[in-house]
Amino acid sequence: MVGARRSFIRETTIVASAPPHVPRPLAARRAGALRGRLRPPGDKSISHRSLILGLLAIGETSITGLLEGDDVLRTAEACRMLGARVDRLGPGQWRVLGAGLGTLVEPRGTLDFGNAGTGTRLMMGVVGGHGITATFDGDASLRKRPMRRILDPLALMGARVLSEAEGGRLPVTLRGSSEPAPIEYRTPVPSAQLKSAILLAGLNSPGRTTVIETEASRDHTEKMLAWFGASITSEPDGAHGRKIVLAGRPDLRPRPVVVPADPSSAAFPLVAALLTPGSDVVIEGLMMNPLRVGLLESLLEMGADIEILDRRMEGGEDVADLRARHCQLKGVDVPAARAPAMIDEYPILAVAASFAKGETRMRGLSELRVKESDRLMAVSDGLNAAGVENFIEGDDLVVRGTGVVPGGGMVATHLDHRIAMSFLVMGLASQKPVSIDDSTMIATSFPTFRPAMEALGAQFG
Ligand code: S3P
């Protein structure tokens, strides 16, 4: 059923064109053991989705523990521009008064997603399934990222690209379809963003939308759609894949969302504790969703001293506290099939591998080339700058660890928050400090990174 338009007062702030980017270099140095407890910020994937589902449900969705990073704030602004009222009630506490599926308004300005690929691609799905036109844009990093993978299936559903930059890049102007065709789509790459865009467009379709993935990607969209009342099924397909079927035009009901801690952000203090002599750190409330725990699995194979404590359910997700202590890691072979479950964690795994004894081979990393930066190159260049032997072979990254990292270099971060945080972690345990050319992008996903790490004993400056 399509919801009736509600008459909430709309905030129509139009994002002004961005001021020139001013990089802020930062260095990390060895300063002794890390100790204490840390709760990482809310999960970025779930934060984006909670706002978007709040937009599409009619009435009040309350969100606790929302990540207040730049990426998610851009999605909040886009939701406002599409007709929702979005209010911050307190730290991490947000309320979305949804406009309802089928009733979105055409935004008056460009939807500027800054650095956020997830916000852009999911919202392209939302717009693609509504009879409105919207222009999507972002920063220099986002403008380099491929959008064809999203625009192609949306075109099959009836959406039209009115303009795009060369090669299907931002800025893109998309005209959605008010009656998106139900499709069955096999995703050519394992991407939760792609899967989610199709499902979000399919929400407003009169029929069933089917997405088949050969390698299962994170399933937060499916879980949250079910939580908001959609009829959606997910079953195994092939050795590692899933088939997801969504019935269109559900009556989405607002539900409270509790956002668990982000395992992709937890990765930084977790690895920092393993690498820094004398460390003993507890990371609280880490989401243990099987499609997000690839890093943990890999670190345990490397011999990491990690204890999993107090497994429990929080906000519909399995969570746990992790106690990590310094230890000597060993090199491992990380299979390509694990990539979707740790796709954002390869930069920090490469840092861990640099301190390990022996060779670590990380297989099947082609998707790393189209993240916030070409992460395969950025990691390899960063390791070279810090004196770590490594090479790229096809889509594999091989790191030859000796147990000791010289450090001392300047790492180019290419507007990539995870490159920035990974190499700062390296500097906490390398012989000489490691510098990064720009720390500003850390605010996109882990705005409290520096004070949270300093509270454990890290030294930056
Ligand atoms: C995300 C999916 C992943 C991941 C990104 C968040 C999501 O991207 O890298 O940081 O929330 O759906 P892909 O879907 O492109 O693999």
- pLDDT score for 2: 34
Q: Distance (Å, rounded) from C-alpha 404 to C-alpha 394?
A: 27
- Positive or negative torsion for Cα 336, 338, 339, 342: negative
Distance 253 CA to ligand 1 centre (A): 25
Residue 17: the pLDDT is 57
Helix (H) and strand (E) counts in the chain: 12, 24
Question: Of 399, 394, 335, which Cα lies nearest the Cα of 366?
Answer: 394
**Over 60: is that where the pLDDT of 341 sits?**
yes
Buried b (16+ CB within 10 A) or exposed e, 24-44: eebbbbbbeebeeebbbbbbb
- Token output for 220: 């937060």
**Tens digits of per-residue pLDDT, 376-435?**
999 999 999 999 999 999 999 999 999 999 999 999 999 999 999 999 999 999 999 999
Single pTM value for the model: 0.95
Report pLDDT for 391: 98
DSSP secondary structure of 204-236: T-SSEEEEEESB----HHHHHHHHTT--EEEEE
Domain covering 44-246 in this structure, CATH number: 3.65.10.10
Inform me whether the pLDDT recorded for 187 exceeds 80. yes
Q: With a 6 A CB cut-off, is 120 part of the ligand 1 pocket?
A: no
Task: Answer whether residue 12 shows pLDDT above 50.
Answer: no
Handedness of CA 450, 455, 456, 458 (dihedral sign): positive
Per-residue model confidence as pLDDT tens digits over 25-73: 999 999 899 999 999 999 999 999 999 999 999 999 999 999 999 999 9
Residue nearest to atom 9 of ligand 1 (CA): 344
- With 90 as the cut, is the pLDDT of residue 74 above it? yes
Assess whether pLDDT exceeds 60 at residue 10.
no
Q: Which of 344, 374, 416, 438 is catalytic?
A: 344
Q: What is the mean pLDDT of residues 436-443?
A: 98
Give the Å distances, CA to CA, from 335 to 205, 303, 383.
Answer: 38, 17, 21
389-393, strands of its sheet edge to edge: 333-334, 357-362, 396-402, 389-393
374 is catalytic: no
**Atom of ligand 1 lying closest to residue 122 CA:** 12
Quote the distance between the C-alpha of residue 272 and its chain's center: 20
Q: Which of 430, 289, 460 is nearest to 351 (CA)?
A: 430
CATH 3.65.10.10 maps onto the chain at 26-40+260-460, 44-246
Count Cβ atoms within 10 A of the Cβ of residue 422 and give its class: 0-12 exposed, 13-18 middle, 19 or more buried: buried
Read off the tokens for 22.
Answer: 């001013």
* Domain 26-40+260-460 CATH (choose: 3.65.10.10, 3.10.180.10, 3.40.640.10, 3.30.1450.10): 3.65.10.10
Ligand 1 in reach of 118 Cβ (< 6 A)? yes
Q: Is 298 in the pocket of ligand 1 (CB under 6 A)?
A: no
pLDDT of residue 264: 98
Structure tokens of 458? 């890290």
Query: CA-CA distance, 135 to 432, in Å (whole number)?
Result: 46
CB-ligand 1 contact for 343 (6 Å cutoff)? yes
- Whether ligand 1 lies within 6 angstroms of the CB of 193 is answered as yes
Tokens of 102: 């089928």
* pLDDT band, very low/low/confident/very high, at 20 (cuts 50, 70, 90): confident
- Containing 341, the helix (H) or strand (E) segment is none
Give the pLDDT confidence of 131-152 residue by residue, as tens digits: 999 999 999 999 999 999 999 9
Q: Atom 11 in ligand 1: which residue has the minimum CA distance?
A: 45
Q: Are 424 and 436 in contact (CB under 8 A)?
A: yes
Indicate the pLDDT class of residue 164, thresholds 50, 70 and 90.
very high
pLDDT of 7 above 90:
no
DSSP, collapsed to helix, strand or coil, labels residue 358 as strand
CA distance 100 to 113: 22
